[in-house]
Amino acid sequence: MAGDGAAAGARPSPAPPPCYHEVLPDAGGEPLERQATLERFFAEVGARALRHAELATGDRDEALDLVQEAMIRLASRYRHRPAQEWGALFYRILENGIRDWQRRQAARRRWLGWLRLADGAGGDAAPDPAPDPASELAAEDARRALERALRTLPWRQQQAFRLRVWAGLDVASTARAMGCSEGSVKTHLSRALAALRPLLEAYRP
């Protein structure tokens, strides 16, 4: 929209996610007026939603993906709802997407943190390391290596590792999920770590 942010001293607004109209699924025989109304809604909400998601993620590319996914879901599931409901529905979808993204990032940091544990560290407290940009560069390769190594472990050790490290549950919650004692959780996790460390030594920061 020409003129937006053009006043002297005004801070320019980020452009809406590109090609927002292209995320609309085929509506079949939907009236053109309804289609145009949805496109106008996306055009109006796009820049604000992008700033919202970028503030939450700190990453413009991730924010663009989250906003476009929210647009697709709104258009697919709720386009026939009254237009005045779209704003709340859209931001609820976007917030759910942001929470899912944050959970994935937290899980990645957790298991990278386990690779930083000293060989003698105990397995009864999950570390909460700060993000390490250097480690993140090799995160995808390390994740695949971890998944392969994890599949070589006995099932109970896999469970303990997944629930404590991947899902981030505490010892008590993990014990309830596994149907065993907290002491057993600690034993299974300690053995899992001991087996995984040599297999993943090349990926440790």
184's CB contacts (< 8 A; 6+ apart) are 156, 175, 178
For the segment 5-22, the average pLDDT, to the nearest whole number, is: 46
Structure token digits, residue 118: 């000293």
Name the one residue in this structure whose structure tokens are 């940009």. Answer: 133
Q: In angstroms, what CA-CA distances link 62 with 53, 66, 101?
A: 8, 6, 9
pLDDT above 70 for 190: yes
Q: Determine the Cα–Cα distance for residues 197 and 205; give it in Å rounded to an integer.
A: 12
Structure token digits, residue 72: 């697709």
Give yes or no for a contact between 171 and 182, defined as CB atoms under 8 angstroms apart.
yes
User: How does pLDDT run across 119-147, given as a tens digit for each residue?
Assistant: 444 444 444 444 444 445 456 677 777 77
Instruction: Note if the pTM is more than 0.85.
Output: no
CATH, domain 116-203, list 1.10.10.10, 3.30.2130.10, 1.25.40.10, 1.10.3210.10: 1.10.10.10
Give the largest CA-CA distance in the chain. Answer: 67
pLDDT score, position 164: 83
- 182: confidence class by pLDDT, cuts 50, 70, 90: very high
pLDDT score, position 113: 66
Of 47, 21, 45, 44, the residue nearest 32 (C-alpha): 21
Give the residue extent of every domain in the chain. Answer: 20-105, 116-203
pLDDT score, position 71: 93
User: How does pLDDT run across 43-96, given as a tens digit for each residue?
Assistant: 998 988 998 888 888 888 999 999 999 999 999 899 889 998 999 889 999 999
Q: In angstroms, what CA-CA distances link 35 with 10, 31, 92, 164?
A: 32, 7, 21, 47
